[in-house]
Amino acid sequence: MTSGDLIVDRRALVRAAGLGVAGLGAAVALPGTALAGPRPAPALVRSGRPGLTHGVQAGDVHGHEATVWARADRPSRLVAEVSRDASFRRSVTVRGPAVSGLTDLTGQWTLRGLPSGTDVHYRIRAVDLHDPRRSGAPVAGRFRTLPRRPDDIRFLWSGDIAGQGWGVNPAYGGFRIADAMIRRDADFFLCSGDNVYADGPVQQSVALPDGSTWTNLVTEEKSKVAETLDEYRGQYKYNLLADNWRRFLATTAQITQWDDHEVTNNWYPGEILDDPAYTEKRVDVLASRAHRAFHEYVPVADISPDPDGRVYRVVHHGPLLDLFVLDMRTHKDPNTANRESGPDDGGVLGERQTRWLIEELRRSRATWKVIANDLPIGLVVPDGTTAQEGVAQGDPGRPLGRERDIARVLTALQESGIRNHVWLTADVHYTAAHHYSPDRAAYQRFDPFWEFVSGPLNAGAFGPNALDGTFGPKAEFVAAAPHANTGPGEGAQFFGEVQIDGPSRELTVTLHDVDGRSLFSRTLAPRRR
């Protein structure tokens, strides 16, 4: 078979073409090719042909499937061409959904039957609903499928995008850190939450300490806190105004979780806001609108076992890696002093998710189990003067409050003999490496493990936070901001990188700064059960 050959399951293609909305896909096997960058997203211009407005994205690549996304400028049908050839000389066409105002003209669908361990190129175009011969210019992207054999894996993680008044700055191509992330050529990107700051309006200019000025793009939706569905949608459209961020998402598949700022700061179910910026005070109403916007604008596969729409899931990445993506927000109990005790669940994972996580960890046969926790385990994150936002609360004794959920998981890992688990988080707007050990802990029914912290991507930088001694954490490395709310122009923006070496199965975590320089690196050798 030559480089441009293509094998297609035609019956699967016909079946996919007959479907109307989500879940579309064709069984394809595509030959390999070299890397190619995407075409820039076209500007929103009303013309005789429909077009795309905010680039293309792919997400949740797993097994032989991937979810792709785009947004049109009018009601139309989205269509993808898929190939292992960057020139698309041989390709498969996979019909996507017809989009309308019901989803803000966004659409996402599934590509199935993808080959293992290769670059897959795709390009999406919008097609006129009444005349299939009329379509706009395609926008191209690329993602990498998962290896079947133990092979090298490289992925990035971070979080916190366009917060604390630091928005899209054209002088940096959008988001300053995006260029360094593009250069890493990662297999995928894990966003650890705060994909948008729905509670964080931006102004056109911000004065910097050195006397210079930071300049933001400003939109109507980004000029106030989000309350309506359209305002929540506008938060995602705003971030996609960053040229280099669109380019990064078009060339790097994402796996995404959410945290608080997708709705409002430090929210929990049932909360009633006491904030004059909001006319809608019921957080449950805001969260429902934010949840819909999140799923309209972020490509998330329908693989969560949760019946209530939470986004926890496991994404299998071949024999070396299983990635467990948690939702530590949707079930979260109110922000009290976080010192509750008793037999009830700890109020951060919830009973259903805790049982799911333990069972999936026991089933995993991958060498490394990476757990994406959108709230750090041992860092104290206050909410006001007496309440606590995070898992820890500063009491170094037995597990209290939300620590009880984490203690249950850690003990189950030890009792099941599950080794090689690493935790990745963001949230606190600085980067750090924390080692947890029962030798230093008040609670000792667990094996030693690492938690690595990264972020922000493009937001105010802070820290460092205090560590809680319940699980015996030790900060092996910390890089934090020189002053509160340090902006991207001054640096103090961070992303992390995980590399797994195929032959040795060693896992290396590297923490990078805004320009991609390595600040800290740690290599972990796998342990047998």
The DSSP symbol for 204 reads S
Question: pLDDT at position 343, please?
Answer: 78
Question: What are the φ and ψ backbone dihedral angles of 489, each rounded to 5 degrees?
Answer: -65, -25
Positions in the chain short of pLDDT 50: 1-45
User: For residue 264, what are the β-bridge partners?
Assistant: none
β partners of residue 512: 495, 518
CATH topology of domain 7-144: Immunoglobulin-like (2.60.40)
Give the tokens for residue 205.
């200019």
Radius of gyration of the chain (CA): 22
- Report strand pairing: 368-372 vs 421-425: parallel
pLDDT of residue 342: 82
Q: Are 527 and 449 in contact (CB under 8 A)?
A: no
**Fold held by 153-524:** Purple Acid Phosphatase; chain A, domain 2 (3.60.21)
Q: DSSP letter string over 94-163?
A: EEEEEE-GGGTTEEEEEEBSPPSSSEEEEEEEEE-SS-TT-B---EEEEEEPPPSSS--EEEEEE--BS-
Q: What is the DSSP letter of 402?
A: T
User: Is the previous residue joined to 132 through a cis bond, with omega within 30 degrees of 0?
Assistant: no
- Distance between CA 131 and CA 128 in Å, rounded? 5
Burial (0-12, 13-18, 19+ Cβ within 10 Å), 76: buried
CA distance 488 to 214: 9
Q: For tokens 């912290």, name the residue.
A: 453
Which pLDDT belongs to residue 220? 97
Question: Which residue do the tokens 């056109």 mark?
Answer: 204
Q: What is the pLDDT of residue 47?
A: 55
Please give the pLDDT value at position 35.
31
- According to the model, what pLDDT value does residue 37 have? 39
- What predicted TM-score, i.e. pTM, was given to this entire model? 0.91
In the block, tokens 């991958």 appear at 366
Give the pLDDT confidence score for residue 529 in this predicted structure: 64
Burial label for 111, CB within 10 Å (0-12, 13-18, 19+), is buried
pLDDT given for residue 466 in this prediction = 97
Those residues with Cβ within 8 angstroms of residue 441's Cβ, 6 or more apart along the chain or in another chain: 469, 470, 471, 472
Residue whose token pair is 């011969």: 133
Domain ranges of the chain: 7-144, 153-524
